[in-house]
A and B are shown apart, each in its own frame.
Chain A
Amino acid sequence: MFRTSDWTDQKVEVIIANLLRAGVMFAAVLVIIGGLIFLVRHGLSPASYHVFAGEPFELRNWKGIVRAALTLRGQGVIQLGLLCLIATPVARVAFSVFAFAIERDWLYVGIAAFVLGVLLYSLLGSAV
């Protein structure tokens, strides 16, 4: 599919960087939309972040977040945007695994796969 000579570290990085930027912009758009819904509905309620209460359970895991976002709850849409944002570096590492495999650099396939595992553990831990 790709000739290894065309598939240099530098080119891979440029592709990844553009993917990352697209991911961040997509996430930002979701956060803006969610923020507008949130402010239209709750803009005049008092803001209180001094006392720590923790978020409600449905805003802590991706299933609950997707559900809240689909019902167009502002906070749910914002949280979905944040989830996309957190996923962008994870996608970057996943892409690196693939890129190292094409370079047949198995040592770094292993290293990148380990990093990916740690990230997925953290991210999917929020599924339970």
Chain B
Amino acid sequence: MNNLEFTVLVGLGSFMAGFLGALTGLGGGVVLVPLLTLIFKVDIRYAVGASLVSVIATSSGAAVAYLKDGFSNIRIGMFLEIATTVGALFGAFLAAKVSTSAIGAIFGLVLLYSGYLSSRTPVDPPPDQKPDPLATKLGMNGEYPSLAGPKSYNVHRVPLGFGLMFGAGGLSGLLGIGSGAVKVLAMDHAMGIPFKVSTTTSNFMIGVTAAASAGVYLSRGYVDPGLAMPVMLGVLAGSLAGARVLARTKTRQLRWIFGAVIVALGIEMLYGAFTGKL
């Protein structure tokens, strides 16, 4: 395959990943690395480097769409970014120390967990009136617009959420993904933040987190311009197109299909890791 053919094919694949990722809300990054490594036989370190760059592009490019409704909470986001950026640096350093098969195996497990999450419909935590004193001190409790007027919410278990976000950052730096799955665990389950608030807030955090490890990847020579070019442009165009179509489609079935694809890729990644093909 020459560079021209490679650019076109990878660009198309990345467009599909970004498109389906935006449409299902599962993010395109999680299928990008398996796509590049399993189908295009790209070394996983190059694949992770290109994926990180595209994660920044989608996060920053979609920021405007996420802001209009006033759901995002900048204080929760900024505070948790302490954990995700330090975690991301740690993950990026780790990426140079562990074998590519180990990275592949961890990736496979994260894919299986993401696939499992995609089969569930998000449920808002029950409104509980006792916030974590730390959350009050940090000014995290807020309100969001709803049909019945502004609805207030409290933030819980800040230390647990903070710890989990360190893990989310670590996975992001190691695997080049947005870590949406761990984010859900930390913000929705541990901290009890309403689904819409956590989703919009994490969109911002994903870009900042990815930037923390992207610098390390760049200086280590893991970001290849010839590969990152079609990946970044494809994912960006795909996710912008997906966000446009989003309002007009039923995503339930699509989530199931995309979830099944994610699980299949997870099994394939694990198989590749254990047979030493990655």
Contacts and interface: CB of A to CB of B under 8 A. Distances in A.
A42 interface: yes
A4 B236 CA distance: 36
B56 interface: yes
B78 A82 contact: no
Contacts of B226: 38, 42, 47, 49, 75, 78
Nearest to B70: A10
8 closest A-B pairs by CB? A126-B219, A122-B215, A54-B221, A47-B6, A78-B225, A55-B221, A43-B4, A52-B43
Interface of A: 9-10, 12-14, 16-18, 20-21, 23-25, 27-28, 31-32, 34-35, 38-39, 42-47, 49-52, 54-57, 59-61, 74-76, 78-79, 82-83, 85-90, 92-93, 96, 105, 107-108, 111-112, 114-115, 118-119, 121-126, 128
Interface of B: 1-7, 40-43, 45-46, 53, 56-57, 59-61, 63-64, 66-67, 70, 72, 74-75, 78-79, 81-82, 85-86, 89, 92, 138-139, 204, 207-208, 210-216, 218-230, 232-233, 236
Given A88-B211, A93-B208, A122-B213, 20 more contacts: A17-B63, A17-B66, A28-B236, A39-B4, A39-B7, A43-B3, A47-B1, A47-B2, A60-B220, A78-B229, A86-B218, A89-B207, A89-B210, A93-B81, A96-B78, A105-B139, A107-B138, A118-B82, A119-B215, A123-B215
